[in-house]
Chains A and B, each alone.
Chain A
Amino acid sequence: MATLFQGVGAVTPFSASSSLDSNKLLLPSRKSLSISDSRGSIFVYRSDALNLKAATRKQDLLIPNAVATKGETSTSAKSGHELLLFEALREGLEEEMERDPRVCVMGEDVGHYGGSYKVTKGLAEKYGDLRVLDTPIAENSFTGMGIGAAMTGLRPIVEGMNMGFLLLAFNQISNNCGMLHYTSGGQFTIPIVIRGPGGVGRQLGAEHSQRLESYFQSIPGIQMVACSTPYNAKGLMKAAIRSENPVILFEHVLLYNLKERIPDEEYVLSLEEAEMVRPGEHVTILTYSRMRYHVMQAAKTLVNKGYDPEVIDIRSLKPFDLYTIGCSVKKTHRVLIVEECMRTGGIGASLTAAITENFHDYLDAPIVCLSSQDVPTPYAGTLEEWTVVQPAQIVSAVEQLCQ
Chain B
Amino acid sequence: MSFSATNFAQPRPVPVGIRSNEKSLSSDPFRFRFRGSPSFLGSPHSLRFNPTPPLKLAIPHSRRSPAAAVTDVSNGKMVKSSANMLFGFVLQLITKEEGLELYEDMILGRFFEDMCAQMYYRGKMFGFVHLYNGQEAVSTGFIKLLKKEDTVVSTYRDHVHALSKGVPARAVMSELFGKATGCCRGQGGSMHMFSKEHNLIGGFAFIGEGIPVATGAAFSSKYRREVLKEASADHVTLAFFGDGTCNNGQFYECLNMAALWKLPIIFVVENNLWAIGMSHLRATSDPEIWKKGPAFGMAGVHVDGMDVLKVREVAKEAIERARRGDGPTLVECETYRFRGHSLADPDELRDPAEKARYAARDPISALKKYMIENKLANEQELKSIEKKIDEVLDDAVEYSDESPLPPRSQLLENVFADPKGFGIGPDGKYRCEDPKFTQGTAHV
User: Which A residues lie at the B interface, using CB under 8 A?
Assistant: 22-23, 25-27, 29-30, 101-102, 104, 128, 130-131, 135-136, 138, 140-154, 171-172, 175-176, 180-191, 220-221, 223, 243-245, 271-273, 316, 318-324, 326, 358-359
Contact = CB atoms under 8 A, between A and B. Distances in A.
Interface string B234-256: 00000000000000011001101
The 3 closest A-B pairs by CB, nearest first: A148-B216, A144-B212, A319-B423
Given A147-B212, A183-B194, A186-B185, A140 B253 contact: yes
A327 to B, nearest CB: 8
A30 B424 CA distance: 10
A8 to B, nearest CB: 25
B223 interface: yes
Most buried by A among B223, B424, B428: B424
B54 interface: no
Nearest to A150: B216
Interface string B16-40: 0000000000000000000000000
Nearest to A131: B227
A302 B151 CA distance: 60
A191 B253 contact: no
Contacts of A243: 418, 421
Interface in B422-438: 422-433
B426 A322 contact: yes
Given A135-B257, A189-B417, A323 B188 contact: no
Contacts of B414: 181-182, 184-186
Interface stretch (B69-77, B199-207, B322-330): B199-207
B106 to A, nearest CB: 27
B426 A272 contact: no
Given A141-B254, A141-B257, A322-B423, A183 B192 contact: yes
Contacts of A176: 204, 209, 213
Most buried by A among B227, B253, B421, B430: B421
B127 interface: no
B56 interface: no
B419 A152 contact: no
B413 A186 contact: yes
12 contacts: A23-B417, A130-B227, A144-B215, A145-B212, A151-B201, A183-B188, A189-B417, A244-B416, A271-B421, A272-B421, A319-B431, A323-B427
B420 A272 contact: yes
Given A102-B228, A141-B253, A183-B187, A29 B428 contact: yes
B220 A148 contact: yes
Interface in B206-238: 206, 209, 211-224, 226-228
Given A144-B209, A183-B188, A185-B186, 11 more contacts: A27-B433, A29-B433, A131-B227, A142-B253, A148-B215, A151-B217, A154-B219, A154-B220, A154-B223, A184-B187, A184-B203
Contacts of A145: 212-213, 215-216, 219, 254, 257
Chain B: number of interface residues, binned into ranges: 35 or more
A326 B188 CA distance: 37
Contacts, number: 209
Nearest to B180: A185
B424 A273 contact: yes
A141 B184 contact: no
Contacts of A181: 414-417
B196 interface: yes
B79 interface: no
A316 B418 contact: no
Contacts of A190: 417
B192 A136 contact: no
Contact of A104 (B223, B413, B428): B223
Given A188-B194, A221-B416, A359 B188 contact: no
Most buried by B among A22, A142, A183, A189: A183
Nearest to B429: A29
B223 A319 contact: no
B223 A321 contact: no
B183 interface: yes
Nearest to A139: B253
A24 B134 CA distance: 47
A162 B355 CA distance: 50
A144 B414 CA distance: 20
A120 B181 CA distance: 45
B418 A22 contact: yes
Most buried by A among B212, B217, B427, B431: B212
B194 A184 contact: yes
B363 interface: no
Contacts of A150: 216
B55 interface: no
B174 to A, nearest CB: 11
Contacts of A101: 227-228
Given A147-B212, A148-B217, A184-B194, A319 B424 contact: yes
Interface string B334-356: 00000000000000000000000
Contacts of B182: 185
Interface in B126-154: 151, 153
B428 A323 contact: yes
Contacts of A244: 416-418
Contacts of A141: 211-212, 215, 250, 253-254, 257
